[in-house]
Amino acid sequence: MLSGTTIAGIASFADISLTGAVSLSNAAAAFSGALVRCVLTNSVGKCIVKLGAMAVILIAKMFSRIFSQPVGCGAVTTAAIILSGSAISALIGEFPEKLIFYSLYGVISGFTAYSAAALYDEISAGKAPEFHGSSGYMLGVVYIVASASICSAELPFINVGLALISAVTAAGAYFYSGFGGVICGALGASGAFLASAEIGTAAAILPAAGLLTGFIGRNRLFLSASFYSFFCFFLSLLMVESYHFGLTVSIICGGGVFLAAAPHFKEKRFMMHIGERENLADSMAIKNAFLSDVIEAVRCDSGKISAALIAAQREKGADEKYDNNVCGVCYRRGICGSGQWEASGELIPVVPDDCVRKKEAAEEFERLFRLRTAQRLMELRYSGERRFLSEQFRIISDIIRDTGRKDTVRYSRSLAVRVENALKNHDIKFQRVMAGYTLSDRITVEIFFSSGEIAESAERICGILSDTLEVRLLSAASVSSANELKMGIYQPPEYELEIHSAAKCAAGCGISGDSSSVFTDSTGRQYIVLSDGMGSGKTAAVDSHMVIGIFRRLVCGGMKPESAVRVVNSVMVTKSREESFATLDAVIIDLESCMAVSVKSGAAPTIIRRGNDVIKLSSPVFPIGIVEEAELFVSEQKLSEGDMIIMFSDGITENAYLFIKELLLGDGDIREIVREIALKAEVFNPASRTDDVTVIGMKIVKK
């Protein structure tokens, strides 16, 4: 269709720019289509320059991938047109006269190809073109050229290009108010004028119709389409001298096209608001401030826990003071040599047999030995504190680095305003709202409340926002800081997890030392966390529950899992003088891309069935709370539908791994697999004393 169009009375370069902007296979398709059209219409000679340029572009893309990048696309398109035009002009004897024309023609075509390729790369990477930025200029160029070319296409009944321009104008007015309607209408009318003066005159009413339709507002699709068609018809009647029934019908048909296509249009793909970039900086500042607040809250809580434990363990006593009144005042000090015992390197010197104060000297030497031992212990303590301080600096460095990384959420002020208005309409008090889209175009919302001022449940707020945004939303794990509470809401991804667990206590223990938790953050990422406390019983349960609670609070507050584990380790190391530690095993799954990240600190292995393969992920590092520097094991796995993951505590021994592998490779249900592993744990345990057993199984399924 494009190969037979014109722009401003000359052959359109839209098909050449399209060939330059797309990949090799698509470029071959565009060239083939143009060649077939020219053969069918007997216009090969008339379009020989265009066909030659497209052939040169195709050959260049075959030999180098650089011509598939935006700059390369623009350069090869410009060069191909100049080369083809110069060669044909030289053959017919018009070379000098046509050189300037083909140079200008090639530059405009090349810039159009560059703009189209750059926009395609942005959209493919999940970025949203901004109408007010450089991408807005490129989008305008592509839109004008496409409008002019399609409007000049010779098709029966109605002008398809004019109908499409009209539909885009109606969509701009509906989704981006009158401002969007004016912009889309003006750019479309510019392209229509390049096609022909008659079509351009008919399209001149589009900016005015878009402006008037913008006042109708959102959530009134049929009303907006009806009023838009009425405005177009009424404004066409005012242009009596240039009234053309067929063109008017084409414009009004655009309203019908808009009505059918609007429910499928993704407004998230474009940013219209001028303050969108500034709002992004504000959003990052809010996230950083809230994360800092969460860390402060965790620090205060851990301080209270440490104070309570120290108070319960404190023993009364006082340091005894001794005076060196034995060898130091003895008249035989220089004779027996007992005063030189420190230089001899002996820990406790031997008291001479002829010592006149043998008993007192032995007691004095023992006292000095205790002092030296205490001094060495203090040195070890200071060394541990230095290592701990180094770890704190490492944690701070990681946190700063994480907060400065590129966010995976594309924040939208327009979406946040819609959420705020919906909450205000239902008298729900809130502090602020952050809303946007993930890389897979799913909605994510974070609502901040003052502590203790949430009037509605998360389910009620999800229902309100689902009705407002016309998508199904779910609530994520809420997290509190020192002063606020954050509620996360997200649009569910394509896949979901089928999760089952089984657990039993060790023999003779009424409380399991294992703890587990399953939660979701505000972007829809699923967290499955398992912690095994030291030993069994109440103390082990407190440690494992504390590890999971702090980890959940930090990651839901915005911290990366690796940094969160280091903070948890610091809290466990310093919470009391008693030795206590716990393992941490976390699996984080992005259910849109099915990418699973396993983070372990001293945990038992994780068994994964990926396709027909079974993988074991082991963690050769210390648990949390043993050493000052946290040790981590991190692994990423790309999964797909039907893959399974089995997590378990130390109650499952290595002897059971082959049995677990056989279960995973069979046709059993994930629930039955988890149940069988837990029931047979004692069979594969050679030790006389059993341990707590917790098994968690998950399977990726499609909704």
Amino acid 387: pLDDT: 63
* 636, β-bridge pairs: 597
CB 171 within 8 A of CB 265: yes
Count CB neighbours of 343 within 10 A: 8
Task: Check pLDDT > 60 for residue 79.
Answer: yes
Amino acid 481: pLDDT: 84
* 615, β-bridge pairs: 608
Give residue-wise pLDDT tens across range 599-632. 999 888 999 999 889 999 988 888 887 777 777 8
Give residue-wise pLDDT tens across range 355-408. 666 677 677 777 777 777 776 666 555 555 656 656 666 676 667 666 656 567
Tell which CATH classification among 3.40.50.920, 3.60.40.10, 3.10.310.10, 3.40.190.10 matches the domain 495-702. Answer: 3.60.40.10
Amino acid 320: pLDDT: 36
Rounded percentage of the chain residues whose pLDDT exceeds 90: 25
Amino acid 321: pLDDT: 38
Amino acid 319: pLDDT: 37
Amino acid 566: pLDDT: 86
Task: Give the integer Cα–Cα distance in Å for 237 and 327.
Answer: 121
Task: Check pLDDT > 80 for residue 278.
Answer: no
The residue-averaged pLDDT of 179-201 equals 89
Reported for 355-361, long-range contacts at CB under 8 A and 24+ positions apart, including other chains, are 356/330, 356/332, 357/326, 357/330, 360/326, 361/326, 361/327
Q: Parallel, antiparallel, or unpaired for β 606-610 and 644-648?
A: antiparallel
Mean predicted lDDT score pLDDT of the chain: 81
- pTM value is 0.63
Reported for 94-99, long-range contacts at CB under 8 A and 24+ positions apart, including other chains, are none
Task: Check pLDDT > 80 for residue 23.
Answer: yes
Give residue-wise pLDDT tens across range 205-261. 899 999 988 888 776 788 888 888 888 888 887 765 555 677 788 888 888 888 888
Amino acid 343: pLDDT: 39
**Between 286 and 474, whose confidence is greater?**
474
Q: Please, what is the angle between helix 413-425 and helix 458-469, to 10°? A: 120
Q: Parallel, antiparallel, or unpaired for β 584-590 and 526-532?
A: antiparallel
Give residue-wise pLDDT tens across range 532-581. 888 778 888 888 999 999 999 989 988 889 888 888 888 888 776 666 78
CB 39 within 8 A of CB 48: no
Amino acid 388: pLDDT: 65
Task: Check pLDDT > 90 for residue 643.
Answer: yes
What secondary structure letter does DSSP report for 405?
A: S
Amino acid 637: pLDDT: 92
The residue among 475, 635, 637, 486 whose CA lies nearest residue 559 is: 486
Task: Check pLDDT > 90 for residue 187.
Answer: yes
The structural domains of the chain, with segments of one domain joined by +, span 1-127, 495-702
Task: Give the integer Cα–Cα distance in Å for 617 and 600.
Answer: 9
What is the pLDDT confidence band of residue 530, given thresholds at 50, 70 and 90? very high
The residue-averaged pLDDT of 657-678 equals 90
Give residue-wise pLDDT tens across range 95-149. 777 788 888 888 999 999 999 999 888 877 767 777 666 778 888 899 999 898 8
What is the pLDDT confidence band of residue 694, given thresholds at 50, 70 and 90? very high
**Between 669 and 397, whose confidence is greater?**
669
What is the pLDDT confidence band of residue 342, given thresholds at 50, 70 and 90? very low
**Between 358 and 439, whose confidence is greater?**
439
The DSSP-derived string for 184-197 is HHHHHHHHHHHH-H
What is the pLDDT confidence band of residue 165, given thresholds at 50, 70 and 90? very high
Task: Give the integer Cα–Cα distance in Å for 56 and 499.
Answer: 57
Task: Give the integer Cα–Cα distance in Å for 632 and 615.
Answer: 19
Task: Check pLDDT > 70 for residue 429.
Answer: yes
Range of lowest pLDDT (86-95, 300-309, 427-436): 300-309
Amino acid 282: pLDDT: 61
